[in-house]
Amino acid sequence: MFKKIVFKNGLRVILVPQMSTQAVTALVLVGTGSKYENKETNGISHFLEHMFFKGTKKRQTKMEIAEDLDRVGGIYNAFTSQEYTGYFAKVSYSQAELAIDWVSDIFLNSILPRKEVERERGVVIEEINMHKDDPVSYVQTLWSKVLYGDQPAGWDVAGTKESVSNISRDDLLKYMKNQYTASNTVICVAGKINSSRVLKQIKESFSNIDSNAQKSKPKVVERQTDPEAITEDRKTEQTHLCLGVRGYNLFDENRFIQDIISVILGGMMSSRLFMKVREEMGLAYYIKTESAQDTDTGFLVTRAGVDNKNVDRAISAILNEYKIISQVAVPERELKKAKEHAKGKLALELEPSDAKTSFYGIQELLENKIMSPEEIFTAINRVSKKDILRAAKNLFKSEKLNLAAVGPKPDKEKLRELLVL
């Protein structure tokens, strides 16, 4: 299903032929993000991502960069997370050569014009303002903060207005030189491709990538002995909540068990929390439980927006479902439904070429190995009722509970008192 090639300089290439599509996606991933930053440069990974669209040696203006793909109907963008940054172009298969040339050009040859750095600084700050104005989005930023506090894992990926205001062009150039290296980069191309032709072009296009050793990220410190809560006062009609626990990371054998627990609790419309909190109690329009894993962190969290007067009831209902799943074995029929849901959802998500590049590329970048969909299905199938009960007992303990809330004058201490299982 895929082919992996490692060049002498450590650059990794993943090719995923898909003859059933008319599209090709070229994705370049670099193993750096907000966890690699310090306090003064928080947000630099995200800022640099923005700057790669402002001009290269070949495409000297932002208009040239945009027009090259606009004129063929291409889809292109970039993204930054705590542990990786990615740049992609998706085009008709007849334009595959253009997509690879374009993404390699912005990745390797961006010139970071000084005027554009100053102009884009304002754009990034407005993006920070936009997310802060959206309580559904901002409560998730607070969720990271309540889990990890004042360390890179607890900071906003976009940084703060203060840190972004002080990042210089020299800072961006130095960070790029330290992190954007061959051994820290994965290129993934998926879709209707001629593999040998694509590989040849990649070898030529990325021949001048730096071979320096990248800087590593600091180890995440996780210490918690009591339930924790963080709140922010907002004049909103709803209070938005993130309520959950620290969980298993990418390298933990329990990661798939945690994923299935999240599906059972709130990962589908027939899940326990959706049926209880929305359908039976009528407390929320949206309620969802999610499982997330990085190389050194993981969590399970339930997100919901509820009427301000119903916050206590919603928290109690969520905690009750956490308690039940940690004390009573999941019925076989419900476990089977959750497994089939997880497998079916992954199969559907992997239909487009851009999803394939992320699926294969991010695994290779973060784990240095790739599980095929079939191998993941096998891991999911192995999850038993005993596994669910054992992992849930470990996850759902009062001292591991964390809550983030955004709403009108939330009482932090009162909310903390509710965090009991």
- Active-site positions? 49
Task: Report, in angstroms and rounded to the nearest whole number, the Rg of the chain calculated over CA atoms.
Answer: 22
The span from the CA of 389 to the CA of 385, in Å, is: 6
Q: What does the block give as tokens for 71?
A: 């004129």
The span from the CA of 91 to the CA of 114, in Å, is: 31
List, in order, residues 6 or more apart from 212 with CB less than 8 Å away: 177, 178, 181
Coil, helix or strand for 139? helix
**Could you write out the three-class secondary structure of 51-113?**
HCCCCECCCCCHHHHHHHHHCCCCEEEEEECCCCEEEEEEEEHHHHHHHHHHHHHHHHHECCC
12-17 and 85-92 beta bridge pairing: unpaired
The span from the CA of 67 to the CA of 65, in Å, is: 6
Measuring CA to CA, which residue among 351, 241, 221, 328 is closest to residue 289?
241
Number of helices (H) and strands (E) in the chain: give both, helices first.
16, 11
**DSSP secondary-structure letter at 368?**
S
Q: What does the block give as tokens for 87?
A: 């740049």
- Structure-token match 């210490």, residue found: 223
**DSSP secondary-structure letter at 399?**
G
